[in-house]
Structure 1
Amino acid sequence: MAQEETTFGSAIADARKKKGWSLKDLCANVLREDGDAISPQYLNDIEHDRRSPSSDRMVTQFAEALGLDPDWLYYLAGRFPADLRDKGLSQSEVTTLMVAFRGGPPRKSGR
């Protein structure tokens, strides 16, 4: 049987359950931009991969609340953390980093 792929939602759900928290418990620790807690329905949608976290701040709050590595959550969310985006890297620098990450030669254009 193939191992199920870890997604942002499954990582959040697994960590929440390991802590013995309900949806409401985690919601109280993750705030929207307006300062209100996210709703249990929104969290349920995230955990079932129907929605993605709406901001970097939210990814960081999930990591802090659940004791998860924020870089891992950014990766699962398909995002680059702000500290990397804010470096002002050139196209060549980004290409070099992605090649190093992949551990192989650069991909050809048009893929």
Structure 2
Amino acid sequence: MTDNLNPSLGPSIRASRVDAGLSLRELARRIDVAPSYMNDIEHDRRTPSEAVLIKIAEQLPLDFDDLLALAGRLGEDTELYLKSNPTVGVLLRTVSGANLNEENLQRLLKSANRMAKTQVGDEPKA
């Protein structure tokens, strides 16, 4: 069961859809899926693909990265990066094992963003 502080994917999508004044059928039409599939997503019976999550984020005021996280997905590019860089898996297991709180996760994210901007040893991106 979901609590109000950490809703799961389906209820988050449903709440946003209702707030936007869209029917389930209308959202399904806009993202080109069957209404029954959309209903399954909203009731956490199905986990949508990354492509469907992108379409949902385009139609509702929801952040794509948040949707990916709620779906338990990393995204195709991130999965490829993870497979080619085993240290990333170690980092994720370390963070998970430490059970870092939101404040520390935000600090880690800011640090990673700074590193991404000033990465040493790589060619400049075109």
TM-score, normalised to structure 1's length? 0.74
- Secondary structure at 2:62's aligned position in 1? coil
The one-letter amino acid of 1:85's match is E
| Residue 9 of structure 1: how far off its partner (Å) | 0.4
Question: Is residue 104 of structure 1 aligned with residue 103 of structure 2?
Answer: no
Q: How does 1:24-103 map to 2 (within 5 A)?
A: 24-30=25-31, 37-53=32-48, 55-87=49-81, 88-100=83-95, 102=96
C-alpha distance in 2 between matches for 1:77 and 1:98: 19
**Higher helix proportion:** 2
Rg comparison, structure with higher value: 2
Give per-residue Cα distances to partners, 1:13-51, cap 9 Å, x unaligned. 011000000012111221xxxxxx211111111111111
Query: How well do the aligned residues superpose, as a CA RMSD in angstroms?
Result: 2.1
Which runs of at least 4 in structure 1 moved beyond 3 Å after TM superposition? 2-5
Provide structure 2 residue ranges, at least 5 long, that are not aligned to the other structure.
100-126
C-alpha distance in 2 between matches for 1:70 and 1:62: 8
| Residue 91 of structure 1: how far off its partner (Å) | 2.4
Provide structure 1 residue ranges, at least 5 long, that are not aligned to the other structure.
31-36, 106-111
| Residue 56 of structure 1: how far off its partner (Å) | 1.1
Task: Report 1 or 2 for greater relative contact order, CA contacts < 8 Å, sequence distance ≥ 6.
Answer: 1
Identity %: 34
TM-score, normalised to structure 2's length? 0.66
